[in-house]
Structure 1
Amino acid sequence: MSRKIWVFDTTLRDGEQVPGAKLNLYEKLEVAKQLKKLQVDMIEAGFPSSSTGDFNAVKEIAKKVGNSDDVIITALARAANTDIDAVYHSVKYAENPLIHIVLGTSDIHLEKKFGKSKNQILDIGVDAVKYAKTLLPDVQYSTEDASRSDFEYLWETIEAVVNAGATIINIPDTVGFAEPEEFGELIFKINDRLKNLNDQVLLSVHCHNDLGMATANTLAAIKNGADKVECTINGIGERAGNASLEEVVMAIHTRPKIYQAHTNVNTREIMNTSRMVSGFMGLDVQVNKAITGENAFAHSSGIHQDGLIKSRDTYEIINPIDVGLDDMELVLTARSGRHAVKNAFEKLGMDQFTNSEFEEIFTDFLELADAKKEVYNHDLYVIIENYFKKHIRNDQDTNHYSNNFYELIDLQVISNTKFPSASVELKKADQIIKGSAVGSGPIDALYSAIMDVCDVDMKLVQYDIRSVSRGREALGKVKIQVEFQGETYIAKASDTDILKASAYAYVNAINNIVVDHLLPIK
């Protein structure tokens, strides 16, 4: 029988503890609204006693996001009445408010952080729960650093706070010290005793990723009786981060027989949520990160592409649509095999060539792929046309498609504090077209100049640049996301000159739109 696992998202509290990831009120509200669309069960909206700004943000989230009974709004408090008051007065506006109290239980925390005895800390925790219960019926108690605590003292604490009224017991692996077998055994022992003590109390876990095992530890806990998991979007959080919500949820979703559990999470909102959090916090998602990484559903190996074309399940255990993507991506590179390249041509309606013709076309493809790293659909059109021109064939099926594509010839960008400006020179068919523009910055000016000469009314949604190599000849990689007629296009380019890379990426996006919308109909 499948049991429900409660999903508690702490992106706005633990996730925001990443240096430089602070959000303003508007951004916090937008993330909270998106988390509600994701259908998490609980949102930890912040740490109200830390600042007036955080208090107000939690209060607004409670009012505007917690205004229905389908999500619980909570916030963190230390085991002190002033902290508990701050949580209560900020979350009380929600339909389902919860007070979350945290206090250490390990010898390290008791002796070195608090300088108090076990009995003293136990009494502080019990008093805190009793006080919180006078304010709200639902109270979560977190035994900080539980994975390094003496088990019998940890259990003594749990028993005492449950008797004092705690409705959720959270077991944190605060410093990511545990490993799955060990953590699973700990949860099994606590769950066995807790269900005998009070089977209405939820058992929760909160795992950190210092040794790279946060997701594994969380899943081990579920196998051993945990009712609730605490996670963050993209696995962000203090130090090496927290258990990744999307990884935990999709593991349960993909292997239901193993975990015999399910969540209420709307998995198709995972990518939207990931991109929003990444964009607002300015934290890039690791390209090969599970589920939300740029390459998580991208395939460039010829062997893999061949298998996927024959049957999706050869190399794909998750349908990209299930996490909010349109489909998998077969990236055409020099590693792509003949089958993948031929399939790409066929999708564009170009399959009227013999085996010997294709072999020569494939050689041209490899030559371009070595030079460009990635080959786009518009490049395939150009390859075909160049092939027929080379063989003195004016094949009407090509319709001179290359006449519709833009090629960057030259650019000049001036960056200053008053009038950043740019001039560009592009080629379309045999025509050289030039444009210039000013902007709020050098990239804005560059893109405005390109738009000035290209008849494509698109909107830049996201611009991202990063270094992918080191040294004087460091390679910069630019990735952009644009919208055209309600559709989203993503394009990339790399160059040692970041302005060139930016321009190439933009032109690639324009040419992708040309392929889909503006080519003459055959």
Structure 2
Amino acid sequence: MSVNIIYDWNGADYSSLHEKKSVCIVDETLRDGIQSPSISMPDEEEMQSLISVMDEIGIEFATIGYPGASTKVKGAVEKLIEYKLNQGLQIEMICAGRTVAADIQAIIDVSQNCGVAIDANLFIGSSPVRQYVEGWDLQFILEHVKKGVRFAVENGLRVCFLTEDTTRSNPEDLGPILETAIENGAYRIGICDTVGHSTPQGVQSILKFAREVVKKSNPDVLIDWHGHNDRGLALVNALVAVECGADRIHATALGIGERVGNTSIEQLLVNLKLMGYPGKNLKLLRRYAELVSASFKFPIPSNQPIFGLDAYRTGTGVHASAIIKAEESGQSDLADLVYTSVPARELGFEQIIEVGPMCGKSNVVYWLKKRGIACDDTLVTDIFEEIKRKKTVLTDREIKGIINRHVTG
């Protein structure tokens, strides 16, 4: 486009981010995602397809299970790793477990059976409420962290140590816990907003704290952010975490997960691209979202950003009129700018103009021309009058019925 017709107030705020290296993504769909109480478990072939598409998109890491949960889960994890190796996929596999010997041994077994080094996300609860419920004290936690991380590292695992419920943890406890993990070989630490408690200000505060711990203990240690959506803040918190220097962000497809879910991976990737970060292959996101929806038997809500039915769809006369004028200008990308901030065409979509109670006659004319149907004033009026008697958008079948009546007289 020859002229700059969008003024971006976001640009100044995010200018410092463009100097930062690309942030890495951990796809938690096959671990945290399957904890949603509303999904159906995908089968082996579906999980393989999901891993393949993650790899094509350019997602760097995938958490693929919790081998210590059962023999069945352990076997499924090994099959996924074998599939990755056989297909030559670049995506790195992560296994999750508590800082207890049995969970760690299960991950070691997987690594040895498959003949590959594995990242282990090892976690333990750290918040006062969790300590109270479990009957733990700080000394108990420190001992578990020390033994667990050391055992994993000595047996060839790359450890990312995560504190559950980090964002409600006391700094007097959290500091020594993170320091102990780092001292015993963790190459990453993970800050977890396990119950979606944090606000953007909270993200800034806790990541500043984490960076200070890392600086003191081992400046080479990397920092992960793992957020949930209980207060509807998961996406904005993840973006703030990136701004505050998190090296890796955890997310799930369609935001599925425990309770109301996690950071949505497709919303995260689209926003990172719009913020100027080196992008993943956004053209494959639609296929990924639809595959997850089908594999997990999880319908995509109509108002879901990016991939919902209504994301690029309008039945409002004023909006439709502007979109039509944009399309008629001959500039293909203008229609994606006038009433949306998301590049629909980059994601495999186009603007859709419906005929409904809030539309004008231009909607009707557009609908007919889009389908190559000759229209005259009488036909347009017949359809428009029918709209005003309805409470919902007219379906294609309903409009075609009016057209048929018009033709047959």
TM-score relative to the length of structure 1: 0.68
Hey, what's the Cα distance between the residues in 2 that align with 1:301 and 1:195?
54
Aligned residue in 1 for 2:319: 304
Contact 1:45 1:73 in 2 (8 A): yes
Counterpart position of 2:54? 35
TM-superposed deviation, 1:150: 0.8
Change (3 A) 1:199 1:292: farther
Please list, as runs of the form range in 1=range in 2, the aligned pairs for 1:248-259 lying within 5 A after superposition: 248-256=268-276
* 8 Å contact kept, 1:28–1:57: no
Measured in 2, the distance between the counterparts of 1:118 and 1:127 equals: 14
> Does the Cα contact within 8 Å between 1:5 and 1:229 map onto a contact in 2?
yes
Unaligned 5+ segments in structure 2 are 1-18, 327-334
Which letter maps to 1:157?
Answer: I
User: Which letter does structure 2 place at the counterpart of 1:117?
Assistant: D
Instruction: Tell which deviates more after alignment, 227-236 or 80-89.
Output: 80-89
> Which residue identity does 1:298 align to in structure 2?
R
Residue 150 of structure 2 aligns with which residue? 130
Matched, 1:164 2:184: yes
Does residue 319 of the first structure (1) align with residue 343 of the second (2)?
Answer: yes
Q: Are 2:28 and 1:10 aligned?
A: yes
Cross-structure match for 1:446: none
**CA-to-aligned-CA distance 1:161-180 (integer Å, 9 cap, x gap):** 11211111110011111111
Letter in 2 for 1:366: F
Match among 329, 335, 350 for residue 352 of structure 2: 329
Q: Structure 2 CA distance, aligned partners of 1:174 and 1:371? A: 45
Q: Deviations 1:228-285 (Å, cap 9, x if unpaired)?
A: 11111000101111111111111111222xxxx445x321121211111111211222
Structure having the higher helix fraction is 2
Aligned residue runs from structure 1 range 202-241, under 5 A: 202-241=222-261
Deviation at 1:23, TM superposition (A): 2.8
Q: Does 1:100 align with 2:121?
A: yes
Return 5+ residue gaps in structure 1 as ranges: 391-522
Whether contact under 8 Å (1:333, 1:374) holds in the other structure is yes
Q: Deviations over 1:203-252 (max 9, x none)?
A: 11111111111111111111111111111100010111111111111111
Q: Tell me, in whole angstroms, the C-alpha distance in 1 between the residues paired with 2:272 and 2:306.
A: 13
Aligned partners of 1:44 and 1:75 also within 8 Å: yes
Q: Are 1:190 and 2:210 an aligned pair? A: yes
Task: Give the 3-state SS of the residue equivalent to 1:65 in structure 2.
Answer: helix
- 1:21 is matched with 40
Q: Which has the larger share of strand? A: 1
**Aligned pairs, number:** 378
* C-alpha separation in 2, matches of 1:116 and 1:385: 74
Identity %: 25
1:91 Cα shift?
4.5
CA distance in 2, matches of 1:2, 1:365: 54
Query: How many angstroms apart in 2 are the aligned matches of 1:347 and 1:340?
Result: 10
Q: Return the letter of the residue paired with 1:40.
A: I
1:342–1:146 distance in 2 versus 1, CA, 3 Å: same
Work out the CA distance in 2 between the residues paired with 1:225 and 1:94: 33
Alignment RMSD, CA only? 2.3
Conservation of the 8 A alpha-carbon contact between 1:129 and 1:161: yes
CA spacing shift, 1:349–1:292, aligned 2, 3 Å: closer
Instruction: Measure, in 1, the Cα distance between the counterparts of 2:354 and 2:50.
Output: 31
CA distance in 2, matches of 1:91, 1:328: 48
Aligned mates of 2:295, 2:115 — CA distance in 1? 24
SS at match of 1:247: helix
Q: Identify which of structures 1 and 2 has the higher relative contact order when contacts are C-alpha pairs closer than 8 Å and 6+ apart.
A: 2
C-alpha displacement of 1:24: 2.9
Q: Match of 1:315, as an amino acid?
A: Y
